[in-house]
Amino acid sequence: MGFPQEAPGAPLPAHTAQIVSEGNTGGVTRRVDLTMRSASGQTPFSTAGIVGLNSISLDSNSELHGNSATNGDLTLAGNDEVCGNTQIGPGRTVIGGPPTCTTGTPTVTQGVTSLPPVNQGNVAFDNSNGNFFTVNPVTSTNANAQRLACFNGRDATGAVSTSCGSRELVLGNGASGVDVTLNGGNYSLCKLRLDQGSHLFVANGAKVTIYFDSPEQCGYSGLPQPIVQMDLNQNTSIEVNGGTSQNMRLLFVGSDTIATKVVMSSNTTQNVACNQDFIIYGPRTDIELAANSYFCGALAGKTVSTRKNVEVSTSNEAEQYSLPGWVDHYAVDDFKECAGPMPAETAAPNSGC
C-alpha cells in the first residue's frame, strides 16, 4: 500500500488520499488504484455553479446563466438558453442541442465531475436548533402567526403541534404565510417546508448553514420515495439581508439507498438582484425547479431538472465557497484497475493504472 503521486515526491491535493493495493487469490493477482476525497475545505463551485452529477435536464423556455457540469447528458426541450460553458461526461451529448444563448456563444466540453458527500460533523447534536422560535423571531400579518410556525413538534407558542415532526420546520399553512428570521449558526433539519407566502430570512450580516440529515437518521425509510426534504411552495423565498458572501448554505447529506429531493415551486425567488449567495449542495439529492421558478446562487445535486419557464443564475461569490472544514471524512472518488504487478520501488505505485 502507498499514497502515490503523479510525480514521485509531489504532494497530493488537499483532503485527498490515494491507495494502491495488490492482492492474490486463487492464483489471480489484481492491483487497484483507489482515490478518496473529503468534503472538508473543498470548493465545489470553482468551475461550475450548476452541477448535476448524473444529469441536467431542462424543460422548454428555461435558462441557465453560468457554467454547468454533469457526468451525463444535458437535455434541452426547445427554446432554452444555456449561457456559459457546459461540461458533459465523456462520450455523452447535448440532447436537443446544440445550446444557444442570446448574449454570447455557449461552449460544450467533456470531462469528469466529482462531488464529495456532505460531512455534517457533530451538527446533528450540537446546533442552534434551540433558537426556534425565541432568538429567531416569527412575524406575519396573521394574528395567529405563532401557531402557523412549527418546529420539532411544537408551534412558536410552545404548544404541541401535529404540523411538523422531529427536526421538521414548517412555516405557514397553505393559506397564510409566515416569516422567520435566522440570526446565524448551524442548524440540523430533516425537512423544511415553506407554504404559500412564507419567507425564511437571514439577518443582516449573519451566517447560516442548514444541514439536512440523512433520511435514515430522520426515520424516513418507511415512507414513499423520493422524500422531499426541502419544499418551497408558491410565492416563497429564502433571502439574505446584506452581509458578506455565502451567508446562506443548505447542505443535504442524502442517501445511497433512499431517494431524497429538493423542490422549488412557481415564483420561488431568492434575492432577484443576485448579489448574495444561496448555496444548495447535495450530491446524493435530486434538485427540481418547478415551472416559473427563479434561483440565484449555486446548486449541486445528484440531478438537476427544471420545468417550463425557469431561470437559474450563478453569482460570482459562489465560486469562492468552501465546504465546512470538519475533520476529514473520506468517500471513494475514483477506482481504477491496474495492469501488471506492483512496480519497483523507484517507480510510482500507480504506474499502469
Does a structural domain hold residue 152?
yes
Q: Does the N-terminal peptide bond of residue 117 adopt cis geometry, omega within 30 degrees of 0?
A: no
CA distances from 73 to 54, 233, 275 (A): 8, 28, 30
Pair (203, 311) in one structural domain:
yes
**Shared-domain flag, residues 238 and 311:** yes
The verdict on 21 and 90 lying in the same domain is no
Q: Answer yes or no: are the C-beta atoms of 340 and 352 closer than 8 Å.
A: yes
| pLDDT above 50 for 3 | no
Residue 21: Cβ within 10 Å count: 14
Domain span including residue 235: 50-323
Give the rounded percent of residues in the chain with a pLDDT score beyond 90.
48
The full DSSP string for 253-300 is: ---SSS-EEEEE-TT-BS-TT--S-EEEEETTSEEEE-TT-EEEEEEE
Total structural domains within the chain: 2
Same-domain check for residues 235 and 350 = no
> Is-contact 211 189, C-beta < 8 A?
yes
Q: Is 303 in the same domain as 318?
A: yes
Q: Kindly calculate the radius of gyration of the chain based on its CA atoms and give it in whole angstroms.
A: 22
Q: Is 352 helix (H, G, I), strand (E, B) or coil?
A: coil
Residues 71, 54 contacting (CB under 8 angstroms):
yes
179: part of which helix (H) or strand (E)?
strand 179-182
Least Cα distance to 205 among 238, 244, 154, 177 occurs for: 244
Check if the beta carbon of residue 199 is closer than 8 Å to that of residue 239: yes
Residue 130: strand, helix, or coil: helix
| Residues 75 and 31 both lie in one domain | no
Task: Check residue 40 and give its pLDDT.
Answer: 61
> What is residue 75's predicted lDDT score, i.e. its pLDDT?
96
Over residues 125-143, mean pLDDT = 91
Provide the mean pLDDT of the chain.
84
Q: Can you tell me the mean pLDDT for 262-268?
A: 80
350 compared with 110, residue with greater pLDDT: 110
DSSP state of 160: B
Report yes or no on 44 lying in a domain. Answer: no
Q: Is residue 31 in some structural domain?
A: yes
- The C-alpha cell 446548486 sits at 299
Q: Residue 10: what pLDDT?
A: 58
Residues 274 and 349 in one domain: no
166 and 24 in a common domain: no
> With bands split at pLDDT 50, 70 and 90, how would you rate the model's confidence at 8?
very low
Model confidence pLDDT, tens digit, residues 295-333: 888 999 999 999 888 889 887 777 778 777 655 566 666
**Residue 4 in this model has a pLDDT that exceeds 50:** no
The mean pLDDT of 232-243, rounded to a whole number, is: 81
Task: Tell whether 245 and 150 lie within a shared domain.
Answer: yes
Out of 22-31, 121-130, 241-250, which region has the weakest mean confidence (pLDDT)? 241-250
pLDDT above 60 for 39: no
Question: Does residue 260 lie in a domain region?
Answer: yes
Q: Are 111 and 191 in a shared domain?
A: yes
Q: Do 152 and 129 form a contact (C-beta atoms < 8 A)? A: yes
Model confidence pLDDT, tens digit, residues 84-98:
999 999 999 999 989
Contact criterion met (CB below 8 Å) for 140 and 176: yes
Residue 261 domain-assigned? yes
Is the per-residue pLDDT at 245 higher than 50? Answer: no
Number of C-beta neighbours around residue 324 at 10 A: 18
| pLDDT the model gives residue 64 | 93
Domain for residue 295, yes or no?
yes
CA dist 167 and 145 (Å) reads 20
Q: Is residue 129 part of a domain?
A: yes
Peptide bond into 106 cis (omega under 30): no
Report phi then psi at 231, rounded to 5. -130, 105
Cell reading at 202: 437571514
pLDDT, position 321: 80
Please give the pLDDT value at position 328. Answer: 59
Residue pLDDT, tens place only, 182-214: 999 999 999 999 998 899 988 888 889 999 999
Nearest CA to 54 out of 35, 73, 82 is that of 73
Instruction: Examine the domain organization and report whether 136 and 200 are in the same domain.
Output: yes
**d(Cα 310, Cα 248) in Å, to the nearest integer?**
21
Helix (H, G, I), strand (E, B) or coil at 107: strand
Asked if residues 95 and 77 have their Cβ atoms less than 8 Å apart, the reply is no
Report which secondary-structure segment, H or E, holds 83.
strand 81-83
More confident residue, 283 or 14: 283
Residues 226 and 262 in one domain: yes
Q: Is residue 145 a part of any domain in this protein? A: yes
